[in-house]
Each structure stands twice: as structure tokens, then as C-alpha cells.
Structure 1
């Protein structure tokens, strides 16, 4: 007994340090399990791919790279003279079609007035001319509508508010149909997506508060869990030609947890923080608190 007391007296400091370290480690482990976090997070946003469905020479570029624009703002003007000429040609076709229809209807009325004096075959031909002229007028009106739409499409406008990026266009360039002219970063859809290990998902719920730290910044962003991904790709399975599943016959002794995307809504951004899509973020899910309470604190 005396030996034990002597031993404890000599090593009390060491044993105390070990006990404190063990307690701290257990506390950190419990916090890690209770408040899941990941360093695999990124700022994300929706990107609008600005393009055209008519094609033509670019006559004006009214924005520059990295410029902030608002919805409806004019970005690019395409070849208007060609579309103006097409619209005038469509209007002329309508005038011609109406004249042909008026003439066919006059002949039809004349046949009705003469009655038996006009051969049945000639009368039927005049009726067919009226129907043909009516169809030609409808076609001309439709062509005019298309020409008006094409005329409007010569002005490419922003569909959302955001920032122009990847712009490399100049007057005189030809913009083909369906080719992306520029990218427009939608400012209203900025968010953070964190990729959490599947073993931590039981501690993540929609509405949970989140602390977001962007690499290189001092202050943290405040947000909350908006949604959790419903599915991810299975790289161990593929389909064959007969639609039967093809499963890779492999097994690893070390099984890595899959990472599941969790979307975070941004509630508060510190002054001076630059939310740029692609920035790296560390995300920590805080203990569950009703979202209404979070709103009062923000």
C-alpha cells in the first residue's frame, strides 16, 4: 500500500495529464459525432449559358467580362439589317396573299351570280382557288410572325441578374445557332454544398444550423441545411446491352464511406466576404435548433 501511494505521488502529474488528455479526446470525439463537419465543401451557383437560336454576325457587344447585369439588360445585338429585310419580305408576301384571296373571292361571287351559266368544273376550280389563297395568307402571316420573333431575337438579353463571365466576343464575330456566347452567373442561386460522409448523415437534418468557413477568410458564414441529395452514382454497377446489371466482382477490406451532397442555404454573409462559385469551404453542422429561433438570432 505504501509503495502504491509512493508511486502515485511520484507520477501524479503524469497520470493527471493523461486523464485530462483522455477527457479532452473523448469530448472532441463526442463533439465530432454530435456536430458533423467536412472540409470538402464548395460555393456553388447556377450558370445560365447565354446563346442564340437564330445565328448571325455580332454588331454590338454591350457588356464586358465580369460585369454585373440585371434581368432584361441588353447584352449582344446580332445582324439586324438582314432580319429587317426578312420582315419586310414577309409583309410583302402578306399583301400579295391578300390580293390573291380578294381576286379568288371575286371570281367565286361572280360564279354564284351567274349560276347555271358557269360550268360546274369552273366553279369548283374557283372554290379551290379561294381555299388555296386562304391557306397562302395563313402561311404568309405565320412567316411574318416568325420574322418578328427573329427580329426580337437579334437582341440577346439577360434572363437573370448576375455576373457575366467567360466573355470573348467582339463586333464582327459570327455567333452560330446554339453556340454558347457567354456564361451568366446567377447571383440569386449562390449556395454552399458540403459533401458529408454517409456515416455522419444521421446527425444532419433539414433546417439544422451550419457554420461555413471559406478558405482564406477570417469570419464565418451562417447558413442552414436546405436539402440532402436523394442519390449519387454507383461506380460498382453498370448496365449491359440486354439491360442486365453488371456488378464489378471486387471487394475491399478497407471500405471508404461515400460522400453525400448536402445543400446549405446562406443566411448571413460577413462584410467583405466574396462569394465566388468554386471557393473551398469547411462546413460544420451545429446542434439542432428550430429555424425560427435561428432567424431571431440573425
Structure 2
């Protein structure tokens, strides 16, 4: 282990905020006495390879500077290792950073949190989900929300949660419930109709939509939110409540917790950390304490 910090940077995150954020972050870390090396890949595959090489070489920490997409690549490098992860959330959604209570779009402040955590050895363990051979920190989306992701990814503007909101409105025109096959842990297969099924390691996706509002990052479980079949009018009533997390009490919404979730439905793509995984069926599993996070001590477990 060395005193070198590796900044893992997405230069295009948040319309260039990733590249701009790397400079004040690096300055804060150098002022704290760390040597800083910056890694920028030519594409996602190259970036992931470079991050893994830095971890294998014994970097003191991998610091992801970007949004949830870059975070997904960073998790692939550090999950299950002793190398801690720092998060400088400067992307469009930043849902993992929000769930952790970390500074968002404040790179110098986030870097100061990381430097202090390294000095005081206050990294702590958090859970991750795993699906289709990939680690994820936020939410696995399927159903109406994954269709919204499909549409949102085709839209260039606007940015952040507003693009997601517009994609939702557009998808309402083709709205329909989907037949699912759902299995939790070793329980029976349930055949249900649902508007969506979301499997959360943490609380939110889509730039602050708290779809799995009760999810915790150190309980060793995934939170499953099922929005049952409903009308467009009902969905429009439920939708604004997702940002506050109060939708979980609505009669069409059911919540579960499990360590393993099997999902199957025709014609749906799964997304985790906002990144496409491919078509269902998919199986998501919870992995307790899979990540060492650089953050101040905080209480996250359920009482």
C-alpha cells in the first residue's frame, strides 16, 4: 500500500463536470499530503481495465470522479478488495452519493471528506448488489422504469432528473402492466402483473427518485419495490411521491426484502446504476460489506 491516490475520472460526466472536478479534488488531496495519479480511459472497457490495474498495483484508494455510470466501473475494480473507494459525485444523477449522504457536485468538499477518512482510517463497509456478473450500488430497474431508461438514453436534453421526467411522460402513451415471474430467496415463484419491479441496494435512481426509500447499505439485504398494475391516472398520482419516498404506503405498492431476487418478464431490459444489462431473466444477489467506502462514520443499519 502506498500514499498514492488514484483519481478515476469520467471527463464527460455532467457535460464536462468530471474533468473540471478532477482539478480541485486533486489539489485538496495533494494539500493533504497524498500523491495523486489520474486515470482516464479511452472508453468504458479501457477505463475499467486501468482502474483494476491501479488497484492491483496497490493504490491507497480509488476515487471515482463522475456519476453513477463511472461508479459502476469503479465498483468492478474495488468490490471485494481491501482498496477503499472515494466518491466525488459530479454526474447527472449521483444517486449513490446521495444515498450515502456525501457531498454532491462539490468536488473540493468531497475530496476533503476522502482525505480526512484516509487520515483517520474511517472507511466503513457497505453492501453491494450483483447482477449479470456486475456489481451495482443503487437500483436494478425493470418494467416501466427500464422502458423510461431506454427512452431517456435516446434523449440528449434535458439533463439529470428532468430528462427522466420527460421520458416518463412520453412512456405513459404506451403504458401497460407486464406479467412477471418473481422469486425471493428460496421461496416459491410468484406470477404477478406489475408496472415495475425495482431491486435496490440503496434508495434511489433517476436523479433522486427514492423508489426503494427504506433500503439500507449495511443490512445485507436488497429492497424490492413492486408497483402493481394500475391506471395512468394512478401512476401519475403515485409518481410525485417517489421523490419523497412516500409512495411505499400507496395500496398499489408492495415492498419486500431478500438476499436473492430472480426476475423474469418478456420484452424488458434490466438497468443497474443506470447502465443496461440486457434482457430478463436476471438474478440479483446482495453482498454484505463488499465495499470499503471512504466517508465519515455514520449510522446506516436498521434498528
Q: TM-score, normalised by structure 1?
A: 0.18
Q: Which has the higher contact order (CA 8 A, sep 6+)?
A: 1
Which structure features the higher share of helix residues? 1
Q: TM-score, normalised by structure 2?
A: 0.18
